[in-house]
Amino acid sequence: MELPSVLEGIETRFVNTERIKMHVHFNKNHQGTPIMFIHGNLSGATFFEEVMVELSDQFFCFAPDLRGYGQTEDKVIDATRGMGDWSDDLSSLLDTLNIDKLHIVGWSMGGGAAMQFLLDQPDRVLSLTLICPVSPYGFGGTKDENGTPCYDDYAGSGGGTVNPDFVQRIEQHDTTEKDQASPLFIMNNFYFKPPFRAEREKDLLLSLLLIRTGEQAYPGDFVPSPHWPFTAPGNFGPLNAMSPKYFNTRAIVDLPVKPPILWIRGSHDTVVSDESFFDIATLGKMGFVPGYPGVEVCPPQPMLKQTRKVLEDYKARDGTYYEVVLKDVAHSPHIEKPNEFITTVRNFISENT
């Protein structure tokens, strides 16, 4: 399988931790204040290379490939722990690198892992930057700003909600853009706001295609449900780890020490939104999935409202957060508008170092 190239100014190596052998990307400033970048689903550390190079004048930046992604050792994701496996892996990585306190930047699913790490290791976090993060109540299956599940078995979330044609294209290492099930089509039409095309499009796609697939990987297993869409989360893989059945980080509002949080997102994000095109309830409402029971029973998950409610509660309990919306940007502000993104993040982290 072809691997993505590595940008000049970035070095990669394998780091053997007590839990897992992780493939990690580093910039070349090993003396600055550390920032750890956590990638999202269907991506990898490659997606942060340009940002880490630009910040190398001031910060020591590194980005691991998470368990199940990139070139990191292939180990099962126990979804019944929510994002606990990733949080523990990251903690073990920091121990191995002898890093005590640091800033964390998490994108999409990686934003969820960052929030989980904050819950598990609050004393290690100097600040938290969330880029288009998954809701604190996970992805799919909830219906209001308080994260109330649509059904008691969390139907509508987890590994059974993914188009199997898309999974097959990943397994075939499809690099074409021939139809809507192609990974490159998904990346260019949902990660980015068309007509934007990334300069390193091929490397980003190759990084995406390194994701492990299967019932214990992506998308994970599932169980039948009597409730629409008749599938409920199983026990393995990243999508089940993001299910509200197992993942809930609202408890960050109760932390005695609250590092500042920056929430930065794109104005045209359709991956994480109040009517996400990747939420099966949105697709049901639009008529693409038969049998939809209606918005009274299973409305699209209000992801942005959920995140804002938790962050407002965080603020009300002596925390601070800032929301920044970049215009004409979809799900990848750090790639689509890197200058604005880097300036915003640099200023935020500098003020909180």
Contact 311, 261 (CB under 8 A): yes
Q: How confident is the model at residue 1 (pLDDT cuts 50, 70, 90)?
A: confident
Within a domain: 300: yes
User: Is the omega angle on the peptide bond into residue 195 within 30 degrees of 0, that is, cis?
Assistant: yes
- What is the number of other CB atoms lying within 10 angstroms of the CB of residue 129? 28
CA dihedral sign, ordered 290, 294, 295, 301:
negative
Within a domain: 3: no
Within a domain: 4: no
Within a domain: 1: no
The per-residue pLDDT for range 96-142, each reduced to its tens digit, is 999 999 999 999 999 999 999 999 999 999 999 999 999 999 999 99
Closest CA to 227 of 275, 281, 279: 281
In order of 69, 115, 200, the CA distances from 311 in angstroms are 29, 11, 34
The per-residue pLDDT for range 38-91, each reduced to its tens digit, is 999 999 999 999 999 999 999 999 999 999 999 999 999 999 999 999 999 999
The chain-wide mean pLDDT, for the chain, equals 98
Structural domains of the chain, count: 1
> Looking at the DSSP assignment, which residues form a beta bridge with residue 106?
38, 130
pLDDT at residue 178, rounded to an integer: 86
Residue 308: give its domain's CATH number. 3.40.50.1820
Contact 109, 132 (CB under 8 A): no
Write the CB contacts of 275 (distance below 8 Å, at least 6 apart in sequence).
Answer: 282, 285, 300
Within a domain: 5: no
Range of the structural domain that residue 193 is part of: 10-351
pLDDT at residue 77, rounded to an integer: 98
Write the CB contacts of 288 (distance below 8 Å, at least 6 apart in sequence).
Answer: none
Separation of alpha carbons 323 and 261, rounded Å:
9
Task: Give the per-residue SS3 of the chain.
Answer: CCCCCCCCCEEEEEEECCCCEEEEEEECCCCCEEEEEECCCCCCHHHHHHHHHHHHHCEEEEEECCCCCCCCCCCCCEHHHCCHHHHHHHHHHHHHCCCCCEEEEEECHHHHHHHHHHHHCHHHEEEEEEECCCECCECCCECCCCCCECCCCCCCCCHHHCCHHHHHHHHCCCCCCCCCCCHHHHHHHHHCCCCCCCCCHHHHHHHHCCCCEECCCEECCEEECCCCCCEEECCECHHHHCCCCCCCCHHHHHCCCCCCEEEEEECCCCCCCCCCCCCHHHHHHCCCCCCCCCCCCCCCCCHHHHHHHHHHHHHHCCCCEEEEEECCCCCCHHHHCHHHHHHHHHHHHHHCC
pLDDT at residue 353, rounded to an integer: 87
Predicted model pTM? 0.98
The per-residue pLDDT for range 157-195, each reduced to its tens digit, is 999 999 999 999 999 999 999 899 999 999 999 999 999
